[in-house]
Structures are given as C-alpha cells and as structure tokens.
Amino acid sequence: MSHHYSGPDFGFPHGDARLDLTDLYAFPKPGEADKSILIMNVHPSAVVNPPGSTTRVPFASEALYELKIDTNGDAVADIAYRVRFSSSADGPQTATVRRVEGAQAAETGDSGQVVIEAAPVSTGRDARVTEPGRYRFFAGWRSDPFFFDTRGALNDLQFTGDDFFIDKDVCSIALEMPNSALGPERVGLWARTLDGAGGVWVQADRGALPAQAVFLVGSERDGYHAGEPANDARFIAVFAHALEHTGGYAPEEARRVAETLLPDMLSYDPTRPASFPSNGRTLTDDVADAFLAVLTNGKVTGDKVGPHIDLLAEFPYLGPPHNSYVQSHATSSIATELRKASRRLGSS
C-alpha cells in the first residue's frame, strides 16, 4: 500500500497517524519547466483495522516533517526543507519552513533559514496557498492521489479493481521551487517524519519509493524506518529473500533486483519529463502496477485500478478532500462514481 500504514501490524509509526509518511512525488511544474513540484503526503484519514477514522488535526506540532535532497550521489542529504506546525490548541494550524544546506542538512534538528513563515494550513475544500519569494507552499487535507486495490492485495493478490483509496484523504505538504534550489540536474530525494514528543528528535518514518516496507517485518522494519539511505545496503539480503519467496527469483537474480530498490531514494532530474520509476513520480504514475511486476517477477502486472480523476490543473494539484474521516462519506454517490471511473481507467 505504497508507504501507508508503515507501523507495526498495518498501524502507524509511534501510534500516531500524523507521523505516517504515505507518498513522495517529484515532477516539473506543468507549463514552467524551470520549476519543480515536491509533494510529501502524510497522515491517512482512515484506519484499516479496525476500520475507522484518524484524528482531524492535520499535523503534529511536536513533529518535524522533512524533505531531503542528495545532490552528489552519496545518499546523504546536502539540502533539507524542514516543516514545523503550530499547535491546534492555539487556533488554526500554521506552518514554518526552513532550508538548510551542507553538513547541517544531514543532521537532525529544526534549525535553518526560514523561507516560509506562518503559512495557513487548509482544512476545507479550498486550497490556501502561500507564495513567499521564489516558493509556493501548501499544507493541509487533500484527496489521497494514491490508487490501489488494497483488499485484493490482502486476498493473495486476487485483484478486482476495488480502489481502497478512492474516497480517502491525506495531509499534503506541497512545495513549488525553482530548479536551481534543488542543486545539479539529477538529485536523490526522500522524506521523513521525526517525533519530538519525548524532548528529543526521533525518526519515526522515512521513505521515497513505494511499498518498500512490505519486504520487512518486526525489528527489521523498525530499523529500516529509523535508518538512512546511506546505510540501506544492509537490507539487500532481506529484500532478496522476500523476492525469492514471493516472486520465485533465483538467488542471484533476487539480489540483483534488490540492489535496484536500494538505497530508498527517488531519482529525479528536473530537466526531463517525470515518469516513475525512471525519473521522479507524477500523481498519475501507476506505481502499484510497477511494484507488483517486480514483487511477483512478472506474474502479476496490475491491480485493475487507475489514477484518480479529481486532480487539479494548478498548484497544489491534489484534489479537494472528501472529508472521508466522516464515515458517511465513504458510501456517498460521489465516492461511488469516482470508484467506477477509477476501475475504467485501470482496465483501459
């Protein structure tokens, strides 16, 4: 399920849905090739088991949300954007974004140059966008753009085209920036959440490529989420074993494929069109199909689900929220029509 529900037993990291990283996107701005869009999605609106809704408070004020950028290929951050949110107890949440470069970008902390301050967080259908200097910024509830037949995956990969996410919401952090702010032409990207509730920053979740955590269980998954891309080689054997078991790969081939999945970074060249997995990731890229083909060694190539049709043509590009944490919306006529359209796209 992409990176949704990456905590223990399809739960949330540290038991907090707001710390759950779900997806990372990177693509050139439509119509302005000298700018890029980075989107970090967190906080699914729904719980899988038992079914229900998560908190309506979009972001945790005691957390740090980071976008990491490796500019020289060593899997260590050279640039970082750090986002912190005000407490909802003090009124509507606002966001502050800081930028750090050099050695400080690879460290843990909430310091850095303020590039966006007091940006309002959106909780309604209208997207409240902040435009400070070279940047555009959005944070708040949006329609979850991820599409996948989750129930089919849990039913031994027997897919029916039932998109679990068609009426779900997610909290998005979207940043538009000039390509010059990313560094050289090709960069490596990942995102992470840090929990500061205990008085010290603890990494709760991290990732870039979809569905990586399915290879890991127990302490291995915990170690992965707490780790850094530069150290991901230690997980190659674990990934390879899972590929042998699930896809029937021969040992040498399984290891070769595992090495293509690590380190867990999204490769992105802003001078080229985006298309997963070769370059970045757009909101309509069918990453689930790509992952299934790898996981099963080509035995399963799709889940019969297509992209969502509620995306916007302008920043922040994600559709308005369904308020699906109000459970009655899950069976609304709008949700039904969206589900039908998604199935048609997935089978085309």
- Distance, in Å, from the CA atom of 269 to the CA atom of 273, rounded to the nearest integer, reads 8
Helix, strand, or coil here: 287?
A: helix
What confidence category does residue 216 fall into, taking pLDDT thresholds of 50, 70 and 90? confident
The pLDDT assigned to 50 comes to: 76
Tell me the pTM.
0.91
Task: Please determine, for residue 282, whether its predicted confidence score (pLDDT) is greater than 70.
Answer: yes
For the segment 262-276, the average pLDDT, to the nearest whole number, is: 97
Residue scoring higher pLDDT (297 or 329): 297
Residue 345 makes CB contacts below 8 A (sequence gap 6+) with: 305, 306, 307, 309
CA neighbor of 23 nearest in space, from 232, 299, 330, 280: 280
268 pLDDT band (50/70/90 cuts)? Answer: very high
For 282: left if phi > 0, alpha if psi spans -120 to 50, otherwise beta; the answer is: beta
Check residue 184 and give its pLDDT. 74
pLDDT score of 262: 96
Cα–Cα distance for residue pair 176/28, rounded to 1 Å: 9
